[in-house]
């Protein structure tokens, strides 16, 4: 059954609506299924019309455009107006089922937050430390130190680890509540942001902290990642920043002070 390249992704409480090739649903995946079962086709996302036939009301969230090779897909993301989707599929359950269409798994992948953790390091002159990166999204530009948070890692610890890996210095970010271990008194300057930057719909969450250090620091830069570091006045740091997360975090620091 050929239905085109437009689908509807409905998610509620960690569950999503799947149908078979004939639009019948809800369908449940089988975690760990290796063999492809083609009696009713692969489990897939429904179309808007198929959801209407199920009498399910929903609210529009956004539209994601995905490309696999020479095929382009238009996926509307929505929130269903239901109390509890008891018979829907757990989104975690689609990953390991070979009888689920790759588009479904890709859409689930798009909904998982990418967590990054940064830190505004301030010296005694109230200058901000920035690093010029030599690879990644912002190659050749100035950014705040930081990067991806590892699995099982608190964002605060992730920021400290990234600074040690990138710049070769140990910092301690204030932790008044002991969220990531021992209580460390002070102002962590926490600023949390969320953004989806492009039509593919990848979701980013950024934690930005602050800490103060002595001006005399012996840096040991990660050679394949950091080209150089430099202290900037706050206004200059704002001008040099290219990441929207960095810019907003510095603005927050300025407004707070």
Beta bridge mates, 90: 15
Burial class of residue 84 in the structure, from the number of CB atoms within 10 Å of its CB (0-12 exposed, 13-18 middle, 19+ buried): exposed
112 and 204 Cβ atoms separated by less than 8 Å: no
Beta bridge mates, 194: 205
pLDDT at position 13 over 60: yes
C-alpha angle 93-99-102 in degrees, rounded to nearest 5: 80
Listed residue (201, 181, 179, 199) closest to 114, CA to CA: 201
- CA 189 from centroid of its chain's CA atoms: 21
Residue 217 vs residue 250, higher pLDDT: 250
| Token couple for 144 | 């705040």
Please count the other Cβ atoms lying within 10 Å of the Cβ belonging to residue 46: 26
The position carrying tokens 């179309």 is 47
Q: Strand 114-122 relative to strand 71-80: parallel, antiparallel, unpaired?
A: unpaired
Phi/psi of residue 201, each to 5°?
85, 20
Sequence-distant (6+) residues with CB within 8 A of 204 are 113, 114, 116, 194, 195, 196, 197, 245
pLDDT at position 215 over 80: no
Phi/psi of residue 82, each to 5°?
-140, 160
Report the distance separating Cα 243 and Cα 142, nearest Å. 9
CATH of 114-256, one of 1.10.510.10, 3.90.79.10, 3.40.50.150, 3.40.50.1820: 3.90.79.10
User: What is the location of CATH 3.90.79.10 in the chain?
Assistant: 114-256
Please state, for a pLDDT cut of 90, what percent of the chain lies above it: 80
- Sheet hosting strand 15-16, strand order edge to edge: 58-68, 71-80, 6-12, 15-16, 89-90
pLDDT at position 103 over 70: yes
pLDDT tens by residue, 220-234: 999 889 999 999 999
Strand stretches in the chain, DSSP E: 6-12, 15-16, 58-68, 71-80, 89-90, 114-122, 128-133, 142-143, 146-148, 191-196, 203-212, 226-232
CATH class of 6-111: alpha beta
What pTM value is reported for the model?
0.89
Task: State the chain's mean pLDDT as an integer.
Answer: 92
pLDDT at position 238 over 60: yes
* Residue 4's pLDDT band (cuts 50, 70, 90): low
Residue 245 host element (H or E): helix 244-256
157-185 burial: b if 16+ Cβ within 10 Å, else e: bbbbbbbeebbebebebbbeeeeeeeebe
pLDDT tens by residue, 149-189: 999 999 999 999 999 999 999 999 999 998 888 899 999 99
| Token couple for 12 | 């509620």
């Amino acid at each position: 059954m050929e239905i085109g390249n437009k689908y509807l992704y409905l998610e509620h409480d960690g569950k999503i609506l799947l149908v078979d090739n004939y639009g019948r649903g809800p369908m449940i995946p089988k975690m760990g299924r290796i063999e492809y079962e083609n009696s009713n086709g692969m489990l897939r996302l429904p179309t808007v019309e198929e959801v209407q036939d199920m009498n399910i009301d929903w609210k529009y969230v956004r539209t994601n455009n995905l490309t696999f090779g020479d095929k382009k897909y238009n996926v509307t993301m929505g929130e269903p107006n239901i109390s509890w989707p008891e018979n829907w599929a757990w989104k975690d359950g689609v990953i390991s089922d070979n009888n689920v269409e790759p588009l479904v798994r890709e859409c689930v992948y798009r909904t998982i937050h990418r967590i990054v953790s940064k830190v505004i390091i301030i010296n005694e002159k109230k200058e901000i430390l920035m690093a010029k990166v030599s690879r990644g999204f912002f190659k050749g530009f100035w950014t705040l130190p930081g990067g991806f948070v590892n699995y099982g890692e608190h964002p605060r610890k992730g920021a400290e680890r990234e600074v040690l890996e990138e710049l070769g210095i140990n910092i301690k970010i204030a932790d008044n509540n002991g969220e990531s271990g021992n209580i460390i008194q002070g102002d962590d300057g926490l600023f949390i942001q969320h953004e989806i930057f492009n039509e593919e719909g990848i979701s980013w969450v950024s934690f930005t902290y602050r800490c103060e250090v002595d001006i005399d620091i012996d840096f040991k830069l990660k050679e394949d990642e950091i080209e150089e570091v430099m202290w900037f006045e706050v206004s200059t740091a704002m001008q040099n920043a290219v990441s929207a997360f960095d810019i907003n975090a510095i603005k927050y620091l300025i407004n707070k002070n």
